[in-house]
Amino acid sequence: MSGIIGKKLGMTSIFNEDGKNVPCTVIEAGPCVVTQVRTEEVDGYKAVQLGFGEAREKNTPNALKGHFKKAGTSPKSKLAEFKGFESEMTLGAEVLVDVFEEGEFVDVTGTSKGKGFQGVVKRHGFGGVGQATHGQHNRLRAPGSIGAASYPARVFKGMRMAGQMGNEKVKVLNLQILKVDTENNVLIVKGAIPGSNGSYVIVEK
């Protein structure tokens, strides 16, 4: 499906037609440049590669400089592929925010905020304190038992334990587009999307 690369600008709220205050996220969507068109004859599948955001030429590898030069554009900081684009795309063409319409629903993919190493209470929502009056020791936020004894004599895979939280790819489905600002290349979608302000996101129909 058609999509675009964008940047999360932040959250706000707007009033809808019924006078209800709706929380929403503002996304700078495009303009993106088609940097590669993949075909079944050459690549084995059909897709369109888009580039977004200006990158410093001195920090761009020579191989990528040639890649962008072939598309007739300056070096880009973010590249992403989209399969099943609704319209035929040519190398160097621009994709603007007008590929979306108000009222339709989109999926937004981004990298969630990193929270560092966290315990089971914050990471998985464990109860924590428990019944402190029934002989509880000083283990208030500990996970408790993580397995049986001599059988199976191991800890099962996937056990919810403390560890790195956040900083992973997250996709939020079916967010409604409240407004499309073609002059400023801005999308306003209902609700929250993953990532911190200024982070790149991918918006797909």
Mean pLDDT, rounded, of the chain: 88
Q: Give yes or no for residue 156 having a pLDDT over 90.
A: yes
pTM for this entry: 0.82
Domain 3-119+169-204 CATH superfamily = Translation factors (2.40.30.10)
Looking at residue 152, what DSSP letter applies?
Answer: T
pLDDT at 132: 66
Count the neighbouring beta carbons within 10 Å of the beta carbon of residue 83: 12
Q: Give yes or no for residue 133 having a pLDDT over 80.
A: no
pLDDT at 67: 86
Q: Range with the lowest mean pLDDT among 94-98, 104-108, 189-193, 201-205?
A: 94-98
18 band by pLDDT with thresholds 50, 70 and 90:
confident
Rounded average pLDDT over 82-109: 86
Rounded average pLDDT over 8-23: 92
- 43-69 pLDDT tens trace: 888 889 999 988 898 888 898 889 888
CA–CA gap between residue 141 and residue 58 (Å, rounded)? 49
93 band by pLDDT with thresholds 50, 70 and 90:
confident
- 168-186 pLDDT tens trace: 999 999 999 999 988 899 9
CA–CA gap between residue 8 and residue 69 (Å, rounded)? 28
Residue 177 near residue 103 (C-beta atoms within 8 A): yes
Q: Give yes or no for residue 159 having a pLDDT over 90.
A: yes
Task: Tell me the CA end-to-end span of the chain in Å, nearest whole number.
Answer: 6
The phi, psi pair for 148, rounded to 5°, reads -85, -170
The ranges assigned to domains in the chain are 3-119+169-204, 120-145+160-165
